[in-house]
Chain A
Amino acid sequence: MRCSRIVVGVCGAVAVWALVAQFRLVDPLFLADPFSTARTLARMVYSGRILPPTVATVRRALVALAIGGSIGVIAGLILGWARWLYEYCEVVIDFFRSTPVVALFPLFMIVFGLGDPSKIATATWAALLLILVNTTYGVRSVRQVRLDVCRSLGATNWQMIRYVILPESLPHVIAGFRVAVSIGLIVTVTTEMFLGTTEGLGKEIYNAGLIYDTTALYAWIGVSGLTGYALNKLVMLAERRLIHWAGH
């Protein structure tokens, strides 16, 4: 039932798209039809042209996720554990969380140059803040009675972290990763539209737009969408395997 609804939904969306394009309800300059988009996409796949930009973008996003995730989890554990320390950092964290992260990109370009490091740094910053805040909430959501269980057994601080705090905050950490993977990709693709990008989905999308190649533009948008979808599903898969107890 669920599966057939999903198929009908996707087919319906494509059908609407095809009809709108077929009857020229929108200027073809703005809207490529699904069939030529699919043909272009197929050509890109066949020639292997699709891979290098996609790989470059995914690699940047994943490196950012890895760096930002590691720092974010560790800092989040510390800040969740030591409430007084969080209070010192609270306003600073909230300020940067409210700042659009791409606003920092020019600064990072000055610091890290035009190449990969500035792009990765921007996406890292976005992922780091998201994962840090989520981890902090995760640590704070630990149920007191579970800590009491450990304390009544004479557990050390490290044992409490290992047996209660880490597993208990894991659902929040992974939820943070799920958001961070989407935002990380958004930031990566955005930063790739700037000067100095040799390869990346953002550059392809921007260039296709520049030369009014609407079909290629739609094809690359499709690739970036599918990439984001796949990354998201991957984290969801990990989520389901790692935290079977969610909600208990």
Chain B
Amino acid sequence: MLLSPVGGQNLAVRGVGLSYGQNTRVLDSISFGVDDARIVAVMGPNGCGKTTLLRVIGGLISPERGSVTLEPSGQPPRRVGFVFQDVSASLFPWLSVLDNIALPLAVDGMGKQDRRAVASKLAGELCPNLPTQRFPYELSVGQQQLAAFLRAMIRQPELYLLDEPFSAFDFRNRQLMMREFLRIWRAQPRPTVVVTHTVDEAVFIADAVIVLGGTPAGVEGVVETQLPRPRTDQLLQSSAFAEARLEVMRLLGAEPA
């Protein structure tokens, strides 16, 4: 797997299991690792527990069995950059976009002037066209997504977790948003887990694709794509991309044509 130290902190998910109530087991002993500055995509059928797994990793749900730690320190992650699925709901409409981006710093107790300065600097460097003085509901979905990315990275988290970040976009805008995300991500890479439903998206973004399946969900298989970065649209036409894509589809149970 990807659990070899590269320098920074690596995410280690070991034997994570979870049940709802007495009888419904959701996750069954899931283990994988994500190296620093690597992106892992998690795929699997609807309702298989991908989002649940993400919430366990992010500390929103404690696992019944197993552990989520950062290596080599062995501590559970404490600073998580979480991008939730329903982006427009996850932004706070009563705060300006700038204050939304700065929210994690407010939780950390930083003063208003300071955190606004940090947020403006971050937004200015990475998304200079983002209208940060407006309110989130005045922005396009794409701009809202960028604001959510910036909010997730502003306090330099130890890892990023993204729940279907590109599902709201049509094909063209999805390519655009994925490139934008990777560009922003490169400015501050961390171990990253992305939940997605789209094979192309998973292969395009990630270094490895983990396919979950079964009830309760376990790891069906892992595809390490080995595709070069930075990722460009040309990659979509390469044979390496097609091969990785085919392999993921096989794991997902699709019949290759």
Contact = CB atoms under 8 A, between A and B. Distances in A.
Among A145, A150, A152, A168, which residue has the most Cβ atoms of chain B within 10 A? A152
B60 A151 contact: yes
B147 to A, nearest CB: 12
Nearest to A171: B94
A145 B86 contact: yes
A226 interface: no
12 contacts: A145-B85, A148-B82, A149-B82, A149-B84, A149-B103, A151-B60, A153-B103, A153-B104, A153-B107, A155-B107, A164-B92, A170-B94
Interface string B89-118: 110111000000001101100000000000
Interface of A: 143, 145-146, 148-155, 159, 163-164, 167-168, 170, 243-245, 248
B89 A152 contact: no
Interface size class of B (residues with CB under 8 A): 20 to 34
Contacts of A245: 93-94, 135, 137
B135 A244 contact: yes
Contacts of A248: 88, 93, 136-137
B15 interface: no
A240 to B, nearest CB: 14
Nearest to B92: A146
A58 B80 CA distance: 52
Given A170-B94, A248-B88, 8 more contacts: A145-B90, A153-B80, A153-B104, A163-B92, A164-B92, A243-B94, A244-B135, A248-B93
A155 B104 CA distance: 9
Contacts, number: 55
A contacts with B: majority SS: helix
B58 interface: yes
B59 interface: yes
B25 interface: no
B250 interface: no
Interface of B: 55, 58-60, 78-80, 82, 84-86, 88-90, 92-94, 103-104, 106-107, 135-137
Contacts of B80: 152-153
A145 B94 contact: no
Nearest to B106: A163
Contacts of B90: 145-146, 148-149
A206 B82 CA distance: 63
A167 B86 contact: no
B137 A152 contact: no
Contacts of B79: 154
A133 B135 CA distance: 29
Nearest to B137: A248
A167 B94 contact: yes
Contact of B92 (A167, A243, A244): A167
Contacts of A148: 55, 60, 82, 84, 90
Given A153-B104, A153-B107, A248-B137, A146 B78 contact: no
B254 to A, nearest CB: 31
Contacts of A149: 82, 84, 90, 103
- Ranked nearest first, the 4 interchain pairs of A and B with the lowest CB-CB distance are A245-B93, A152-B82, A248-B137, A248-B93
Contacts of A164: 92
B53 to A, nearest CB: 15
Contacts of A150: 107
